[in-house]
A and B are shown apart, each in its own frame.
Chain A
Amino acid sequence: MACDDLTVARARTGQLRVTANGCARARTLFALPALPAHCFIKGRAVPLDEALDAAAALLRNAISPAVGGLAADTEGISAALALAERLGAVVDHATSDSLFHGLRALQVTGAMTATFGELRNRADLFVLFGTEFDRHAPRLFDRIVRPPTALFREAGAARGYLIGPGDGPMPEGFERLSADLIHAPAIAAALSQLVAGERPRGQRVGGIAMEDLARVATALREARFGVVGWVAATLDPVAGDVAIEAFNRLVVTANASTRCAGLPLGGKGNALGANYVCAWQYGVPLRSRLGAGPPEHDPLRYRLKSLLAGGEVDALVWLSALNGAEVPDTRTPMVVLARPGQPLPYDPEVLIPVVIPGLDHAGSIHRGDGVAALPLRRLRSAAATLPTAATVLNALLDRLPASPLPVPIRETAHV
């Protein structure tokens, strides 16, 4: 989600610790020690300049390069995209499969959604598709479903349904309708019909009894502001987009008579931010090839995981300054820019450690609902000797056959 209400304590040693409002993911990230780290060429410690030279040599001769990972702040992502443009490389984020379920649905049907702040104050019914909400959207319930206060509804009284596999205790006011999420499109389609006052044929859809679905539909019609939410990462991996299209149709149908909004959940490593930066700088989403002529977007052909599996990449730049971008286990020659301590499947050709945005340097990142870009601040100085990802990527750019980049028209501000 990218929450901005954490309380972070700093020990004398410089060690950070989340003391309030954090989820497991945040606690892990902030607890990462500020390790001293070296650059490595195939496991041999080298100075930064030597590592940069080796990286540039590797990339200079690449025919089908790629820039992946992209778990970084806005500035790091921008620098990575600029490098990709120079190289004619494919760009993709480490966790873009979930992102592209939503994006492909958007490109077919559009979307009707609402942001965290709107729903916190307004939503009185939640119909949530997915499983393991604690893991994928750890603070969904304490920040949005049951916040301490709400403007236009009783804060603690939201009701809802969880549709998906799983068992275990349910949040108060929630009911589980057990189903395999492979049936999510059919379930959502049946709900749309029921909300529109039609009667779908059959007794069950996706394992859920029709009368149970009818109750959900009635709840959506009677809600003042209903929510249809989903964890994209838990949908059918090969047809998540079809499910999201069906969720969107359900939301639009409900809006004929009352208010309702879609709520995509999950996402990590600033995947949303990486996609946004690519969209505004190049007009196209990730899974595009940049710099080899006009930007060329193809969500299937330029899925980096597939390209790597097919051996279609001959040089890979992998950026993992934040959590959420595991370095791929590939034999593709690789330049890894990673936070110190990032697990590596093997020693890459070049490894350059970078500092962590929001711990070691300032910047910005996009929140899970996309609307708010949040500021990141520097909270410690122990790792100050390491460069930022943007610094390393810009230095790499300088080592590659260059065209002039824009210079300031006026160097100084007259504030």
Chain B
Amino acid sequence: MSDAYTLLRGGRVCDPTWIADGATDGGLRDLYLKDGRIAATPSEGARIGEVIDLDGRIVMAGAIDIHSHIGGGKVNLARLLLPEEHREHGSGPDGLRRSGSGLFTPSSFITGYRYAEMGYTAAFEPAMLPSNARHTHLELADVPIIDKGCYAVLGNDDFLLERLAAGATQSEVNDYVAWILHATQAVGVKVVNPGGISAFKFNQRRLDLDEAHPHYGITPRRILTTLATALSDLGVPHPLHIHCNNLGIPGNEAVTRDTIAALDGLPAHLTHLQFHSYGTEGDRHFSSAAAEIAESVNHSPNISVDIGQIIFGQTITASADIMSQFRNSGLASPRKWVCTDIECDGGCGLVPFRYRDKAFVNALQWAIGLELFLLIEDPWRVYLTTDHPNGGPFTSYPHLIRLLMDRSFRNEQLARINPDVAAHSRLGSIDREYTLEEIAIMTRAGPARVLGLRDRGHLRPGAVADVVVYDDLPDREAMFAAPAWVFKNGRLVARNGELTATGWGDTIVVRPEFDRAIERRLKPWFEDHQTVRLGNFRIADGEILDHGRGGLSIVPTLTASDSCF
């Protein structure tokens, strides 16, 4: 503990949660940092250590990436699949940074450095298979600076499907979900193509929302609603994180809207919505359904989304949705791909991909993503993602922010893409430009709220001192690419977009209460059907803490008195 404050003097604090409290007039403000937190204005005579004059620069909380595939077996296999990527994009050690490589599947150290240099102080790995959880945490332990958390993937695991088919009660499912959250050190639950990954193992190639699973006879609808209910019952702040059925298939907008309807008011987060907003109109039977989907989201206050914007260029798609990835494997560029069936738990599919601006389908995907961003009205419920690396690398966020904030820039880009898309897209007719405050919501306050991070995503006293200071440049891409100052836990880690110090962030987890009697059912399941024993499956706190690489931070569960969404 130190008794000196760091004073950030005279910044234009852009924190929408302060305005909500009526605590700011939008004018200049001083921020005091102490012991890694934002402090209340100290009494006179308090010892001020360092003073940094911000001269009216823009100040925001550290940005939070709610959905980014930054680590785990799938990402690591993607690195191994593409040595060409890593040959082209490498860096040596420089006394501060460790060596590393990669652009869209960067190595662990590089991942942390790049996020921090962009003013991001937390990122969430959205597809941790429970069977791969220990590997995922080992990798994330080597991602420096930023806080990180993981969503455990459920909904294709044979234990759950078998129990649902056998008529398990909701409370049994709740106990299982809570047990998984504890055992895998997760902060949320994601369902990927509910039932579909498992159906593929039975040689079924597509599964619709109300189609019975070929073995268990239950429907994706049942899986979805049971899991969403479980998280709500358990008081897990982040609602079910949903990767809908039929990703990438023209006409899938129907299943996306049906999914929203099926949730019937239950809180849920629909991820990489762009890949699920496709219609079948036009000569090519592939069209934008962004308007219909946006309308559905606008009318469903229980739903939050992230977009999964595509960015033109080479990347790799990495997904647990092996059913979709196998279907798309013919599109692999370069022509090599990976599909793996995993542990009666899930799957892994890797398909390298080059998004081309002159290709009709890719250009339309690009336009659909932007249409969704601009047509969904409430910035508190739509978050900035490229579904890294699936739509493009997270390092393209500054470019994406400019597309959202700068209409003339956006229209210039629109004029360059496939002319059929440019001519028919409604994108050119949308005037909306995101404000700085809306960007602060969709990259900070919104994700923090939907994840239940009470002390992140804002700059009120008590918050973790993750603070980013930007020069107010007219070129928003340049502005967001290289913040003037980035503080993590009150420590300066980057200056003008260059790393100045490094360190270790926290692993963020949630620990709802549950009845441990569920282990009496799970133990024989592990012994009879799995290839890892229950006691070895569970990850102890010490496995994360003992290496001195950051702490565990526990998100409080919601109680009845908390306003949920």
How near does chain B come to A23, taking the closest CB pair, in angstroms? Answer: 15
A206 close to B (CB within 8 Å)? no
Given A118-B343, A281-B109, A283-B110, do A106 and B81 touch, yes or no (CB 8 Å)? yes
Beta-carbon contact of B100 and A107 below 8 Å: no
Given A371-B343, A414-B551, do A224 and B203 touch, yes or no (CB 8 Å)? yes
B83 in complex: contacting residue of A285, A290, A291, A366, CB < 8 Å: A285
Within 318-343 of B, Cβ neighbours of A (below 8 Å) are at 326, 332, 336-343
Question: Complex Cα distance A107/B551, Å?
Answer: 37
Within 532-565 of B, Cβ neighbours of A (below 8 Å) are at 532-533, 536, 539-541, 543, 545, 547-554
How near does chain B come to A224, taking the closest CB pair, in angstroms? Answer: 7
Within 87-128 of A, Cβ neighbours of B (below 8 Å) are at 103, 106-118, 120-122
Question: Complex Cα distance A304/B491, Å?
Answer: 42
B101 in complex: contacting residue of A78, A282, A415, CB < 8 Å: A282
- Interfacial chain A residues near B528, Cβ < 8 Å: 148-149
Beta-carbon contact of B343 and A372 below 8 Å: yes
A5 close to B (CB within 8 Å)? yes
Beta-carbon contact of A283 and B98 below 8 Å: no
- Interfacial chain B residues near A30, Cβ < 8 Å: none
Beta-carbon contact of A406 and B504 below 8 Å: yes
Given A116-B531, A149-B528, A295-B101, do A413 and B551 touch, yes or no (CB 8 Å)? yes
Stretch at the interface among B23-31, B71-79, B407-415: B71-79
Question: Complex Cα distance A307/B75, Å?
Answer: 31
Q: Which residue of B lies closest to A144 (CB)?
A: B531
Beta-carbon contact of A410 and B36 below 8 Å: yes
Beta-carbon contact of A111 and B343 below 8 Å: no
Q: Which residue of A lies closest to B90 (CB)?
A: A294
A370 close to B (CB within 8 Å)? yes
Stretch at the interface among A183-191, A236-244, A255-263: A255-263
B48 close to A (CB within 8 Å)? no
Question: Complex Cα distance A407/B488, Å?
Answer: 13
Beta-carbon contact of B344 and A149 below 8 Å: no
A279 close to B (CB within 8 Å)? yes
- Produce 1/0 per residue, B240-269, CB < 8 A to A: 000000000000000000000000000000
Beta-carbon contact of B342 and A115 below 8 Å: yes
Beta-carbon contact of A281 and B504 below 8 Å: no
A152 close to B (CB within 8 Å)? yes
Given A297-B86, A410-B489, do A121 and B551 touch, yes or no (CB 8 Å)? no
Beta-carbon contact of A283 and B93 below 8 Å: no
B505 close to A (CB within 8 Å)? yes
Q: Which residue of A lies closest to B525 (CB)?
A: A151
Beta-carbon contact of B549 and A408 below 8 Å: yes
Question: Complex Cα distance A74/B76, Å?
Answer: 15
- Interfacial chain A residues near B203, Cβ < 8 Å: 224, 258-259
Given A112-B340, A373-B138, do A4 and B532 touch, yes or no (CB 8 Å)? yes
Beta-carbon contact of B76 and A107 below 8 Å: no
Beta-carbon contact of A294 and B343 below 8 Å: no
User: Most chain-B Cβ atoms within 10 A of its Cβ — which of A122, A292, A294, A372?
Assistant: A372
- Interfacial chain A residues near B233, Cβ < 8 Å: none
Question: Complex Cα distance A296/B551, Å?
Answer: 33
Within 243-274 of A, Cβ neighbours of B (below 8 Å) are at 255, 258-259, 261
B343 in complex: contacting residue of A108, A117, A275, A296, CB < 8 Å: A117
Beta-carbon contact of B548 and A364 below 8 Å: no
Stretch at the interface among B139-147, B394-402, B417-425: B139-147
- Interfacial chain A residues near B553, Cβ < 8 Å: 414
Beta-carbon contact of B344 and A297 below 8 Å: no
Question: Complex Cα distance A283/B543, Å?
Answer: 23
B435 close to A (CB within 8 Å)? no
Beta-carbon contact of B95 and A404 below 8 Å: yes
Q: Which residue of A lies closest to B71 (CB)?
A: A280
6 contacts between A and B (CB under 8 A): A110-B81, A115-B340, A279-B79, A370-B77, A372-B131, A415-B545
- With A4-B533, A107-B83, A283-B85 given, can you name 12 additional A-B contacts, CB distance below 8 Å? A4-B532, A107-B80, A110-B338, A275-B80, A294-B91, A295-B100, A371-B132, A371-B343, A408-B503, A409-B36, A409-B503, A413-B552
Which B residues are within 8 Å of any A CB, using their own CB? Answer: 36, 71, 73, 75-77, 79-81, 83, 85-87, 90-96, 98-102, 105-110, 129, 131-132, 134-135, 138-139, 142, 144-145, 158, 162, 200-203, 215, 326, 332, 336-345, 350, 488-489, 491, 502-506, 528-533, 536, 539-541, 543, 545, 547-554
Which A residues are within 8 Å of any B CB, using their own CB? Answer: 4-5, 74-75, 78, 82, 85-86, 103, 106-118, 120-122, 143, 148-152, 224-225, 255, 258-259, 261, 275-277, 279-285, 290-297, 364, 366-367, 370-375, 403-404, 406-415
Query: What 4 A-B pairs are tightest by C-beta distance, nearest first?
Result: A294-B90, A413-B551, A283-B101, A409-B503
